């Protein structure tokens, strides 16, 4: 791909290079060869950028002013990298292959071009939209449905009656629609409560490997448009996660939690049952949320408090031995 075309694709400004130079791929700053592009998005890697052999670098306006090597100035180097990488690695298209070992119920309705891999099970009345690809060993239970251009990686499970929108991706081992954790104590035993709700994944949702999303107890568990869930996340029954929220690995949401739009959760963060997290909240990794959180805030710690407070508290906490000693000396 010519630098001229790359510059157009990423909406940037080419400097110090002939626009007809050819670039064949993308690589890290360290590994990139002269025919490859690279990018500097994290200032941790600034020194690597200086010594990189990449043929072209995506940089924002702030770094290396007046540099003489070939660069493309962009607003967001990471986005430029993403766009170019997507150009070189387009998504695989469905071609309508159905492996003979797949078990597809006669009442299932699949678009012509849907791929079905080996050893897949597709149940009764399942509907699958055009361009979707079902990887080896997946199970799509009775009455489940998905829209167009979904990708199920090997061994994902979509349980009975759950619904996926368009462009949904399930990584390997993801479970959509396991029973929620609901029991009533009879005085002698825990009585299982039938979990009769569904899971709804709206368009453009991605679910990480071995992540589990429980079906609703009565109503549905709903993951909003464009939400990205990393690996090994637990989403309890009747949770609702607002559009475009991003959740890192091993986070956990207890039953009936409501998360607003555009929130971010760090890894291993958790939210106790029935709480509301306002739109646009950022929750640091390992936080434990024990109360409702107002929109737009940044929170950390356990119990989760505003991030600035937690930073101060955790810094002072490390000086507790010193405090303890001072107090012991002066206060009897």
Question: Please, which residue, 16 or 218, has the CB nearer to a copy of itself?
Answer: 218
State how far the alpha carbon of 302 is from the alpha carbons of 126, 151, 230, 321, in Å.
43, 36, 22, 21
51-90 residues near a copy of itself, rule: CB under 8 A: 76, 78-79, 81-83, 85-86, 88-89
Interface residue with a copy of itself among 55, 70, 135, 224 (CB under 8 A) is 135
- 48 lies in the binding site for a copy of itself (CB under 8 A): no
Residue window 1-40: x/- pattern of binding to a copy of itself, with contact defined by CB under 8 A: -------------------------xxx--x---------
Interface residue with a copy of itself among 49, 54, 232, 257 (CB under 8 A) is 232
- 192 lies in the binding site for a copy of itself (CB under 8 A): yes
Tokens standing for residue 250: 């091993």
Shortest CA distance to 265 belongs to which of 278, 279, 254, 251? 251
3-state secondary structure the chain: CEHHHHHHHCCCEEECCCCCCECCEECCCCCCCCCEEEECCCHHHHHHHHHCCCCEEEECCCCCCCCCCCEEECCCHHHHHHHHHHHHCCCCCCCCCECCCCEECCCCEECCCCEECCCCEECCCCEECCCCEECCCCEECCCCEECCCCEECCCCEECCCCEECCCCEECCCCEEEECCCCEEECCCCEEECCCCCCEEECCCCEECCCCEEECCCCCCEEECCCCEECCCCEECCCCEECCCCEECCCCEECCCCEECCCCEECCCCEECCCCEECCCCEECCCCEECCCECCCCEEECCCCEEHHHHHHHHHHHCCHHHHHHHHHHHCC
Shortest reach from residue 15's CB to a copy of itself, in Å: 22
Shortest reach from residue 151's CB to a copy of itself, in Å: 10
Applying CB under 8 A, the site for a copy of itself has a residue count of 107
- 124 lies in the binding site for a copy of itself (CB under 8 A): no
84-113 residues near a copy of itself, rule: CB under 8 A: 85-86, 88-89, 91, 99, 101, 103
Question: Please, which residue, 7 or 287, has the CB nearer to a copy of itself?
Answer: 287
- 204 lies in the binding site for a copy of itself (CB under 8 A): yes
- 323 lies in the binding site for a copy of itself (CB under 8 A): yes
- 50 lies in the binding site for a copy of itself (CB under 8 A): no
Q: Which of 237, 274, 276, 330 is catalytic?
A: 237
- 116 lies in the binding site for a copy of itself (CB under 8 A): no
Residue 237 a catalytic site member: yes
Do 96 and 84 form a contact (C-beta atoms < 8 A)?
no
Interface residue with a copy of itself among 285, 295, 298, 307 (CB under 8 A) is 285
- 43 lies in the binding site for a copy of itself (CB under 8 A): no
Question: Please, which residue, 163 or 204, has the CB nearer to a copy of itself?
Answer: 204
Interface residue with a copy of itself among 4, 15, 154, 298 (CB under 8 A) is 154
- 136 lies in the binding site for a copy of itself (CB under 8 A): yes
Question: Please, which residue, 16 or 85, has the CB nearer to a copy of itself?
Answer: 85
- 320 lies in the binding site for a copy of itself (CB under 8 A): yes
Do 32 and 53 form a contact (C-beta atoms < 8 A)?
yes
Where in the sequence numbering do the catalytic residues fall?
237
């Amino acid at each position: 791909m010519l630098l001229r075309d790359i510059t157009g694709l990423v909406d940037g400004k080419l400097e110090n290079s002939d626009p007809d130079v050819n670039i064949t791929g993308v690589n890290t700053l360290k590994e990139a060869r002269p025919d490859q592009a690279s990018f500097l998005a994290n200032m941790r890697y600034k020194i690597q950028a200086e010594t990189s052999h990449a043929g072209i670098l995506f940089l924002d306006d702030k770094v290396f002013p007046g540099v003489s090597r070939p660069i493309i100035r962009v607003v967001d180097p990471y986005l430029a990298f993403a766009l170019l990488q997507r150009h070189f690695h387009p998504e695989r298209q469905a071609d309508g292959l159905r492996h003979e070992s797949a078990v597809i119920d006669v009442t299932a309705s699949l678009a012509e071009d849907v791929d079905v891999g080996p050893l897949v099970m597709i149940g009764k009345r399942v509907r699958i939209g055009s361009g979707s690809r079902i990887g080896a060993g997946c199970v799509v239970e009775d009455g489940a449905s998905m829209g167009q251009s979904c990708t199920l990686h090997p061994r994902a499970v979509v349980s009975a009656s759950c619904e996926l929108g368009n462009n949904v991706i399930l990584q390997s081992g993801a479970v959509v629609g396991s029973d929620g954790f609901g029991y009533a104590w009879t005085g002698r035993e825990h009585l299982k409560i039938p979990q009769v709700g569904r899971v709804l994944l709206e368009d453009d949702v991605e679910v990480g490997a071995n992540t589990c999303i429980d079906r609703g107890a009565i109503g549905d568990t709903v993951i909003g448009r464009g939400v990205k869930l990393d690996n090994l996340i637990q989403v309890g029954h009747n949770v609702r996660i607002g559009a475009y929220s991003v959740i890192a690995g091993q986070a956990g949401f207890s039953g009936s939690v409501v998360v607003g739009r555009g929130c971010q959760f760090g890894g291993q963060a958790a939210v106790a049952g029935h709480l509301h997290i306002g739109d646009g909240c950022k929750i640091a990794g390992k936080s434990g949320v024990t109360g409702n959180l107002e929109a737009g805030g940044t929170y950390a710690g356990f119990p989760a408090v505003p991030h600035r407070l937690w930073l101060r508290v955790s810094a002072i906490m490390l000086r507790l031995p010193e405090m303890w000693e001072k107090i012991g000396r002066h206060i009897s």
